Amino acid sequence: MKKSALIIALSALSLTSFVYANEGLVSLDDQELSSIDGAALINLSVVDPENTNALMKAANVGFYKLGMDAEMDINVNVKSLRLGCGGVNGAGACDIDIDNLSLSGQSSSSDGRASSSAKLTNPFIELAIKNPKSASQREVVGFRLSADKVVGLLTTGTENTSKPNGINNLSGYMKVQSDSSGMIKGLASTAGTRYNLYGSNQYGNLSVTGRLQALGLGGLAEVDFKTTAGGFNIPNIERNPFTTPAIVVNGTRMKDVTLVSQVKVPDILLGDDKSGYPAAGTVSYNANGNPTGVTALGGKVTATVTGCDWLACLLAPTGSKFENVYMSGKITGITADLTLKQSLGLIHNLPINSAMSLSLQKQAIKWLGTNDDDIAQTGWWLSAKDPVNIGEVIPQDLINIEQFFPQIGTAVSAYLNTNPAKTSDLGGLLKIGALTANIGNVDLSKSPLKLNVENLILNGQGFAPNCFGGLKFC
């Protein structure tokens, strides 16, 4: 302290002492003291069971809270956080098992993270006491480390790759969403496929069956057919949007979470061999970069006649094959029920702006101030009150949609058995060149497809290490 500042401080202290000496001390009784408000750095509060929630009231559990009226800065790296291992969980199993956990400020660079701190507002320790008013039966059944708010960046693991790392097991409660809308929003891109109308793959049979009427004669010239070779090509489809409610992590020793959503697939427009459609197909996009439709060449397909009626038997008897069938028409209303099973080891980047706590309890405890569905279970429990916003969920890799096509084959077959395809191509029927057939507008809106996906690498889950220099963890 500078000399002049020291003189001023001593003078102020002397003047204060002089005033107090002149004024003298005034005694206060208990009633007068109770009417005075003040602020303390450390405070203790007690909540009796009668003033808690229904679960704790029934269990006769009260709470003792020792808190600080202060803000604390923290920057911490934990190489291995393993809590509640063994015992009732079994050998090697832990309530919480996280490798390379870091808590820092929300900087996006390594040096920035390492020199920043997360902020804890009003940190506290809380005890859950069963039978608090009975000296002989009083028992500590829970212990919690918490803060009214934590603002910072929580990361786990060392890298965002296809190999899960970071969270191995998690017991606790956390909502994960894209933004303040309370939803998970994402963009999924799918890989192109070829020859989807015949044979089989690991997902099932790809053939299409149906009825074909010729020359405008209706049932007088009708055949039943089955595709036995060929198909149409689907190109890569980028940025299919999807929306689903926020993911809620709420359970013990969880290794993964499941996201369920419905994705709308763009209409597929098929052109015959005369249409000039590109063999690989193209995709049209709107101003936001989302797909609106797919154009594809509808062939060539080999179709085998499995039955014929009347005049059709003259041109296409049972067992005959048409080697070069090109289809035109449109497949619309395609939706997919997407089920994504995601390892928690692929979630690494969690911006925190919430009350948080780490607790240990002997029985299920509904801690004060937590969300209604956040009931800490026996063992260790990590909880965040407010949702964690992780931005749009965008897989890095293209999603394989081969599993769609047996389902599309089944749905299109059902449609074409009720609504026959039509052709007026006499030359094609006589096998003079290719045969063109129109399947019409195949509406699959009542036949949603199933798409099951696991463990996608997500954009936005990369992070800067909480270290100076080039270290991944320190």
Q: CA 339, 341, 344 angle in degrees (round to 5)? A: 150
pLDDT attached to residue 1? 41
Q: Is residue 4 part of a domain?
A: no
Q: What is the pLDDT of residue 271?
A: 84
pLDDT tens digits for 297-324?
A: 887 889 999 999 989 999 899 999 999 8
The pLDDT, as a whole number, for residue 70 is 95
Residues 204, 332 share a domain: yes
One domain for residues 131 and 212: no
> Residues 229, 323: one domain?
yes
Clarify whether residues 84 and 205 are in a common domain: no
- Residue partners of 5: CB distance under 8 A and separation at least 6: none
Please report the pLDDT score of residue 38 as a whole number: 66
Domain with 100, as residue range(s), is 42-155+348-389
DSSP 281: -
Q: What is the pLDDT of residue 264?
A: 87
Q: Are residues 215 and 318 in the same domain?
A: yes
pLDDT at 281: 85
Calpha distance 259→453 (Å, rounded): 10
Q: Are residues 94 and 53 in the same domain?
A: yes
259 shares a domain with 310: yes
Are residues 385 and 401 located together in one domain of the fold?
Answer: no
| 378 and 451 both lie in a single domain | no
In angstroms, the Cα distances linking 42 to 47, 68, 70 are 17, 5, 9
* 78 within a domain of the structure (yes/no): yes
Pair (202, 298) in one structural domain: yes
Task: Find all residues with CB under 8 Å of 117, minimum gap 6, and list them.
Answer: 73, 74, 75, 104, 105, 152
- Total number of domains in the chain: 2
Question: How far, in Å, CA of 262 to CA of 242, rounded?
Answer: 7
Is 215 inside any structural domain? Answer: yes
Same domain, 385 and 400: no
Assess whether 282 and 336 both reside in one domain. Answer: yes
The pLDDT value given to residue 463: 95
- Which residue numbers in the chain have pLDDT < 50? 1-22
